[in-house]
Structure 1
Amino acid sequence: MDEAGLLAALPVLAFQAVLAFARLGAAAMLLPGLGEQEVPAPVRLGLGLGLVLLLLPLLAPGLPPAPDDAGEATRLILIEIIIGLWLGGLARLVTVAMAMAGQAVALLLGLAQALVPDPELGGQGTATGRLFSLAAVVVVLGSGLYLLPLRALVESYAVLPVGEPFPAGASAEAMATAAAESLALALRLAAPFVLAAVVINVALGLLTRIAPQVQVYFIAVPGQVLAGLALLALVMPALLGAFGEAAREAFLNLPGLR
């Protein structure tokens, strides 16, 4: 392409780059492992720009040229941003399950009063919730699972072509299904601690009936914490393995991969 042809193509390439960045950049702000709240926003936006530079030659043939109407151009960009946030949110809900499981574990262990800043859930969270959130990031990055949402993001251009209306009904249903599966996963991960809490409380109740003179409260609080931490150390590898399998299955069900 000569210099004149390149100059003539620049407006089209610029608009196509903006369209690609709208979807890729919005998703990069939320993707598990890559879009964590601990990562500064400029770094996440830089990741989105890097994805645009890498993928624009592949995506350009399917992207429309710049429309003459500014309102139509704005509509296209807004739809791409919504699609990016939707895809990133679907993937993010998987790691939120780990944070919710950690919150439940803290409540069952008697550690709900020990609060730390938790960017994943916002505001203050429990120490185990923060531990589970960071463990989820380590699993996603260490096992290469972060590549699956990136692949789904690229393949989404075939499922949701640029310029097509956004399927609000189907997307809302998919988001509700993903949220329900995230909650179910959190409950499965916290199940050993629910069972342990029931056993401990039943044992303490029996102890109160058998030996009323025993100060059960002073035994229950430290005993529950110590037993819970021991159980956490015992089952943590299995929990991380179960989360990894569930995350892989959820990522493979993202639009574009299923």
Structure 2
Amino acid sequence: MLDLQTLLSAQLFPLLLVFARLGSAFAMLPGIGEVVIAGRSRLLLALSVSLVVAPVVSSSLPPLPASPADLLALVGGEIVVGLFLGTTARLMLIVLEEAGSIISIQTGLSSAQVFNPGLANQSALTGAILMTLGVVVIMATNLHLVAITAIIDSYTLFRPGQPLMWEDLAHVVVKLVSHGFLIAVQIAAPYFVLGILFFTALGVMARLMPQVQVFFIALPVQVMGGLLIFALTLSAGMMWWLSFYEAGLRIYLAPR
């Protein structure tokens, strides 16, 4: 019995704590926590990474609690931290969907709704394209590895067993949402300029030639112009968002 308790304290308990944080974070991380990826695959990946990480962060872990209630509270706190870290990354990805929704309104494509795998729901066509491209860019630039490193380094910021800083967590989420909306508007800024110029020209045309049904002419031109601007600004917009995403992850990285 003593040997079993020693084994539980020395091996399984650190693995359980690390898996609680990593598993909950992996459920939300872009590229890893997508709904199209089987839950068993995510759990297996989280368990594999936990086996490697547990010995590294074992010095930051508290001893095995004496009561089951304390153990449950400790594991629950780790799950909350993992969900917070994964949710912050997911919120930064959703910025692309917000930008895509604004773009679809300005280009006349708001009625074109498609299935968005990043949201597991219907969304604007441009939003689905940008979110899917965002996941591809994350994986291509190895930012998913930066996210995993940030989760591991978070043990220096969110130590297991310490009281959670709920006010600070809420402040981070609110600040991230507000900054993310600003980034979405900045990505869609060229379309605002296009919309103002285009509809101003339509108003002038309607005054000069009232017999012409300008809206029958406007819609094809609006869509084609929007697609042209989309092609011209896509790379710049993705690079701007990518710098925002990387900066949001590096907050949790330990100094090296």
**TM-score, normalised on structure 2?**
0.93
The secondary structure found in structure 2 opposite 1:106 is: helix
Map of 1:219-234 to 2, 5 A cutoff?
A: 219-234=217-232
Residue in 1 aligned with 2:7? 10
Residue in 2 aligned with 1:176? 174
Q: Distance in 2 between matches of 1:5 and 1:135?
A: 54
Q: Distance in 2 between matches of 1:27 and 1:40?
A: 15
Contact 2:35 2:120 in 1 (8 A): no
Pick closer, same or farther for the CA change 1:150–1:26 going to 2, 3 Å.
same
Contact 1:91 1:254 in 2 (8 A): no
| Structure 1 spans left out of the alignment, 5+ residues | none
Pick closer, same or farther for the CA change 1:99–1:257 going to 2, 3 Å.
farther
Contact 2:157 2:252 in 1 (8 A): no
Pick closer, same or farther for the CA change 1:122–1:184 going to 2, 3 Å.
farther
Which of 130, 133, 136 matches 2:134? 136
Identity level (%) = 32
| Structure 2 spans left out of the alignment, 5+ residues | none
* 1:151 CA drift (Å): 1.4
CA deviation digits over 1:88-134, x for unaligned, max 9?
11122111111111111111111111111224345211111100001
2:183 is matched by which residue type in structure 1? Answer: L
* 1:144 CA drift (Å): 1.4
Query: How many residues matched?
Result: 255
Cα RMSD of the aligned pairs, angstroms, is 1.9
The secondary structure found in structure 1 opposite 2:114 is: strand
Residue in 1 aligned with 2:28? 30
**TM-score, normalised on structure 1?**
0.93
Query: Is residue 21 of structure 1 aligned with residue 19 of structure 2?
Result: yes
Which of 231, 234, 251 matches 1:253? 251
Contact 1:90 1:254 in 2 (8 A): no
* 1:147 CA drift (Å): 2.0
Higher deviation after alignment, 102-111 or 247-256: 247-256
Pick closer, same or farther for the CA change 1:96–1:82 going to 2, 3 Å.
same
Contact 1:32 1:95 in 2 (8 A): yes
